[in-house]
Structure 1
Amino acid sequence: MSPRHRNGTHQAATVIAIVADVMALILGLWILMYLLDANSANDLVAFIRDAAHWLAGWSYDLFTFDEAWARVVAGYGLAAVVYLFIGHAVAGRLRRH
């Protein structure tokens, strides 16, 4: 494999890992903002909430804990862990090839 091809693959792996990190960061920020009862009228809080809701659309209602905070931590936290795991696994696989 040529060094030029390997460099392009390495760059793609880096981009995938960074995207996964940003997605997990948004989800983590929302969990933190929810737990700290951030002002929902604030534009930044609303943006993070909406982005996190979109990113965790498949997992945010997955758990049925009695406490709302536990549902938020488990649902959004699961999405963050899955994005980190998959993103870094794909990036690692690209770097090895």
Structure 2
Amino acid sequence: MGYEFHITRAENWFESEIDPISRRDWEELADSTPELRFTGYVDWSDIGPQRIYEPHGDATSFTWRGGKVDIKGVYSGDTERLAHRLAEALGGRIQGDDED
């Protein structure tokens, strides 16, 4: 399955800066999650390089931007369950691009 999701604390993912997940909180959680591995950086022109994390076995990326964690790629049920666990640990929830 391929679709873009977000881990957010806001009512709508595109308003994540209202109730942000900090970059530090995300990176500390991602670094301590054995199911994720650091694979490099994406270099955003406005905020600079951000770490990319990928779950073992799926072509999915987790990256922080604008107070949320973006989840992109093709993923399995294991990665979906991992994303929900990460969202809970961050005090947030999963929301798709279409706001559900």
Report the structure, 1 or 2, having the larger helix content.
1
TM range (shorter): under 0.3
Report the structure, 1 or 2, having the larger strand content.
2
TM-score, scaled relative to structure 2: 0.23
Choose 1 or 2 for highest CA Rg. 1
Q: Which has the higher contact order (CA 8 A, sep 6+)?
A: 1
TM-score, scaled relative to structure 1: 0.23
